[in-house]
A and B are shown apart, each in its own frame.
Chain A
Amino acid sequence: MFVKNANAFVGFAVSLLAAFSTFGKEAFPASDLVFFESKVRPLLAERCYKCHSHKAKKLKGDLYLDSRKGALHGGETGPAVKPGDLSGSLLIEAIRYRDPDLQMPPKTKLSASEIETLERWVSMGAPWPDEPEPTGGKVEKEFDLAGRKASHWSWKPVVEPTLPQVKDGTWGKLPIDRFILSRLEKSGLTPAGPADRRTLIRRATFDLRGMPPTPEEVNAFAEDDAENAFEKVVDRLLDSSEFGEKWARHWMDLFRYAESRGHEFDANIANAYRYRDYLIRALNADVPYDQFVTEHMAGDLLEKPRLHPETGANESILATGFWFLGEWIHSPVDTRQDEADRFDNMIGVFSKSFLGLTVACARCHDHKFDAISTKDFYAIQGYLQSSGYRQVRYETMDHNGRIARELDQLERSSELGKKLGASLGIGSTDLAKYILAAGRILRGDVDSEKDVLVKSDPDPAGPIVFADFEDGTYGKWLSTGTAFGKGPVTLETKAEYQKDVRPHGKFFVNSHNVRLSGKTPSSGLADDQLGSLTSPRFRIERDFITFLVGGGAYKKETCVNLLVDGKVVLSATGRSNNTMTETSWDVRRWRGSEARVQVVDKRKGGWGNIGLDHIVFTNEKMAGTTKLVANVGFDDASVAFVAKTEKLNRNKLLAWSKAFAQAKSNRADPLAPLASVFANEKPDWNPLRSANANLESRRSKFLESFGKLELAVDYGNLAHGLFMQDGVTFGQRAKLPGDLLLDGEGGLAGIARWGMARRESVWRGLRIVDSAKDAGSLGFTRAGITLRSPTFTNANGDAHYLVRGKGKAVAVVDSHRLIQGPLHGNMAIDVGRPGELTWVTQDLDRRGQTYLGHRLHVEFTPTDANDFEVLMIDLSNDSGARGEVLNFLKNPPNALVQGVDGFGEAPSREQLATLVSNNLKSVAGKLGNPFGNKPADLEQAYLADWLVRNKGLMGLDGAKNVGDEFLSGYKELVSRIKRDSRTAMAMLDGSPDDEYVFLRGNHRSLGDAVPRRFLEALGGLERPAPKAGSGRLELAHQITDSKRNPFVSRVLVNRLWHHLFGRGIVPSTDDFGVLGQRPTHPDLLDHLAGRLVENKWSVKAMIKEIIISRTYQMSSEAKGPGESKDPSNALWHRANLRRLQSESIRDALLFVSGRLDNKMYGKSVPTYLTAFMEGRGKPGKGPLDGNGRRSVYISVRRNFLSPFMLAFDTPSPFNAVGRRTNSNVPSQALILMNDPFVVGQATLWGKKIITQFSDVRERISFLYESAFSRPPSEFEMDASRAFIVEQAKLHGVAEDHELPWKDLAHAIINTKEFIFLN
């Protein structure tokens, strides 16, 4: 806060690299050299030189111990020997075997005497004779990035190739076909003939929809003579919603999609399926692929995100959820290691998926083969270090974000502060008079008469406020018993569970006197208090008595009574509801009588309480409570009298009079010293003299203490771009001293007394619907209402937060968030109390789980509806300084009476009144501009806040008159806030944070920091990340810049080819590096990559272009001479025969059996668990048939994956898999033969057949057409009929019975044609 630099950017602190001391030729005593030669050198030679000398086969840790220079210079982790310094010498540390991570020799500890020898040697100053440096040793070749880039095909730009000449010009019209044909012709091969139409539509439908075509679709295509018949089919399939369901799975493979975290307890990943649904929608909407990539990299940062056309939900941000689909660990002992492993996985997935590069291989050393350096890896890791996780309110974020900005704009353009200041300024004329007059009233220096009010009442028919209790006392009311306590209560002091009492003004009567019981409210004692409260006598001068009443509904027991002549003539009760409602008594028949109002609580137990407020006498029934505030009650007779006689405004004088009354009993009130002077005939000067007696020393003490703090974060003085939050509830920027604070209705809540991040009241009550919360300690409502501090280093072991209000703080250390289990429980803590400014300490050095030196940020979330403010995070050990700062902020020197010293010993009351009036005027004049951060500014801010809360003193009234124009605009905006939203995983930008190179991948051994940037070989050095934010959006632009980066387009078209042909042009779809495979048709690959960009990155257009080629439409028959010349079909002389993917097999089963439920989206159906699926974190058992939903909607829990899916090669979700294995294991056959799901679908299918058709041949035909998209051959027809007869016999049933038909269906499922694509 205020004046100090935040040290948010202090680097990762500790580095073992101490200053390198120079050493020249040193002369050692001969005896020391003898000791070295006889004891030390032999020992080093025997136990160290195998790994640490120039003769070592493989030098370890870059450390030479065969020369003094080597020992002093040290290796990767720093100098091994510091002469004379035992504790500073890593060599000694290592041989002592204390640190399990630093033990040498690695296998067996030296003997005690050997250790002693080396210790002695170091203590001596490490004597070593002057001898030539040893030579030899292996020198590692320098990493030649440029050379590698130049020598490997995939780094070269995409160049549109020239179309090759072909002999057969009729075969295919598309360039694709020319490229394929030319290679075939060169090898003396001819392409296979076209697949027949039924085969073709089955192939295309499975490829695009993931399910077989219906027999009707097959027949329609088979009979369509139009030239573009196939194109029509392809268009129809690409337009179907099932397209997205089929193709989403390919990216789910890449992004290791799962809905649980794996590891020990398989914790839930909250709302992971929303990412799956995003994929389906994005693919169906044909989002251009460059946009698709950008959304994954930085969908949260787009200026214009893609919105859902119907709901307005933010689509783009959902893409960033893919980063967080990986394995997460609870209770890692080493959180930094855990983070490194998570980042490694994220970088691996990202780079393989989008770039086809194995960037993660460069984690420990420069890539062994590709043009990727270790620096590249950590340059990318910096982006992750600068980005965090959240559950985002994606449905409402854009809508509410706009409202938040408009609210801010409205507030600023309305210049509320200036207007307020001006109004207050106008109110400050004559102020001295009011002060003097109020002083008179306070000390009773008024010769008032009993009925003066009635006489002076300007409106004999107007309403009269009889009692509103706003001076915080019962005044002349008489209280008996305990229920009503010592005085009226406020919303802050009432029991919290009484919730929405809705009083008028601040104070109200409530017999639920919890303070008295001293017990927890749940004990019921509060309700058990009994008592009564009786008003002073008054004359009934109006037709109605209107008041607010709430509480118990017991007649005669919890009630408000009207007493006339001591008898109850009217009575009202609450409605067993603490919310007070307006009630009116018609009292015309008692006009002129004297009466009292009595509040009674005679009831114990539930609803044994009564509430009362705002009693008004009117001539209208239900006068409405708000417009009555301006009137004066009986108690204020003196005020009315003085106002009249002195020609002062009665309301304003009343305000001053009440303020003085309150100040008398409250020493913290700025008015208190003044009251002491004015209250008595003989003034008490002491409070005034002591008010600012030590002003300068208090100020300097504050500054000194503040200077002692080590502020990691100071919301009073925050660097640009570091005000970060999930959502908008903390406003658009931090509040500074003097800023206006609004309440939830747009009214004035006060003035900021300090710099802070403050939850804006208008955003209270945001709800989360239909969404899971995060696992572990983060499972509370935090989406959209969380403040994220900048990242900082844990310098001293604990962090101290200065907060006001109740909430939670989560310390996110090394981005570890699965806070569950024994180790890191204290990372999520409760902070603060309602309304109270307080320091809260978070222990970051506990139970040996020290996070000292680790990087972290803190996330603050309010947990109730009260104010919530965060001021600063301190890392110092100076609790005294913290106490001073807190004390000053809570109770600064009194600016109201500053300057009083100028008057000497005893100023006159007039002088004082003028001084105070000037001070108030001055503070009012400052509103609308920032106050600054100096102590005097804080004092003035405190006074301004007091003034605004007591603005009646300046003649301003009502809570909401900060500007009528503003208020109507404000209300309109607020009415449009959407308070309910679903949530999903997404990124949240953090503070910019570059990463250090981890030497050999070891996070304990740090090299230089690397600025965030893209790969050097792709121009990363030229375009480093911007200063503010993570820079992911700029990174995304570089990645998708097809002119500079040839990988994204090539890798995508290759994936499409792979999925449509069963093998990519580059078969290793995820590795375009040296260890990957070469493209079989490099020109074709570049042609397609070029076409993709030409077609504005349309994935559907690319798929269509490939699929309508002759190449795709070839037959898969393996019969010609091509089988010997091109046995692996590398040249595509025919189509490949392909086994269906697991999802398609299961979906086809549901499709043919009629069980398929084509409902889209939503929560996954739990996986069916077999008796053999055991382990921790076992989920609930799902239905055997997954409720008939497509496989993409079946739950993916890491430790409980579907056996069916796994058997048919759905990958385990751990890393990017662009190319599935294609195994053939007996479990597949066992499943198809015996699994109850398969048998069940066969049964359904059999039943369906016999119900739909009566003729045996028709039944068999339909089975074939559904399963294989073709009618049976005569042989198959005969064999099938014979099988039905045979099975019926075996079962002992009629041929019409469902059993043989189930068997036939089951047999067809088990034939290979069912699971293969021709």
Chain B
Amino acid sequence: MASDVFVDAADAQGDALGFQPERVFVQHPIQDRTDDEMVALADQAVDALVRSICGS
């Protein structure tokens, strides 16, 4: 899981390692978020996360 500035970097890393893992991105930035905002990001991401683990 990463913030959405890492979309391209994740692709490149996958190419370099020869493997593309499932990925879920959340909205950047992260560092200045409040706890409530972090909890909200997690709530928004959880469906995509479950689909990555279990397949659609």
Do A and B make up one complex?
Answer: no
